[in-house]
Amino acid sequence: MLPRRATMMPQEYPSEPPSARTIAEVQPAPRSHRLLTLRFDDGSVLTVPRRDADHAGAGPGVTLLPAAIASMQESESSTAEHFATRRLGSAERTAQELRDYLRSHGFSPGGIEHAIEALANAGFLDDERAAAQHVYLRAGRKPRSRRMLRAELLRRGIGEGAAEAALGEVDEEAAARELVARQVRRAPRDSYEAFRDSLGRLLLRRGYPYALSQRVIGDAWKDLGEGPAGSDS
């Protein structure tokens, strides 16, 4: 099993009312000229639209009162949700993928978690659904082994349980045979060894076990009427 990437789970905004904070630095947010990142003297950050920062008079050395901080948090949460919704588009995304995307735009952990929770509650974000779609699309476009599919799902942040559920009905041998059937016309036929090596490299890249690959390739050679597998005649 491939090792999973260690991640730190973002924390939401504190449940208690915000306290006044002094802005230490104002910078353009990464990847978006429409946003500004406010860094406060306590180490916290908020990333908000420029217009909201300007309206609050945000600048280095400026102290924002609790009401202004709460307003900035609300602005960040709604903006993060908008960015995440746009990112979803027509494809399913996992919660971890959206976290990574929002983090890359400079949103604070609290703003990210509020956006994730809102989208999940609205039914727009579901890791099990994303896992099922991933496996379905792979089967139709680029068949690959259960081992490789599982590694892909884990890299996307899918949990062990959801990954296993999505892989439950995967027929690895049928997928390998379909892949070979798609590529068999391109494989050399001057010898079985050349035929086997060409298709074997393809199946290896897609993660299929050696024994299964050899069986499927041998059957494909026989179906072509080229003689017994392993024969050059």
C-alpha span between 14 and 23 (Å, rounded): 18
Average pLDDT, the chain: 89
Which 3 state secondary structure label does DSSP give 24? strand
Instruction: Please determine, for residue 5, whether its predicted confidence score (pLDDT) is greater than 50.
Output: no
Q: What is the mean pLDDT of residues 88-94?
A: 85
User: Above 90 in pLDDT, residue 125?
Assistant: yes
Instruction: Name the pTM for this structure.
Output: 0.79
Q: How far apart are CA 63 and CA 27, in angstroms?
A: 16
Inter-residue contact 192 to 227 (CB < 8 Å): yes
How many percent of the chain have pLDDT more than 70?
Answer: 89
- The domain spans of the chain are 21-121, 127-166, 172-223
Mean pLDDT of 95-122: 96
More confident site: 220 or 90: 220
Instruction: Let me know: does 88 contact 101? Beta carbons within 8 Å.
Output: no
3-state SS of 48-109 is EEHHHHHHCCCCCCCEECHHHHHHHHHHHHHHHHHHHHHHHCCCCCCHHHHHHHHHHCCCCH
Quick check: 10 and 110 in contact, CB under 8 A? yes
Phi, psi of 49 (to 5 degrees): -60, 145
Percent of the chain with pLDDT over 90: 81
Distance CA 88, CA 86 (A): 5
Condensed to tens digits (0 to 9), the pLDDT of residues 22-47 reads: 999 999 999 889 999 999 999 999 99
Instruction: Provide CATH code, domain 21-121.
Output: 1.10.10
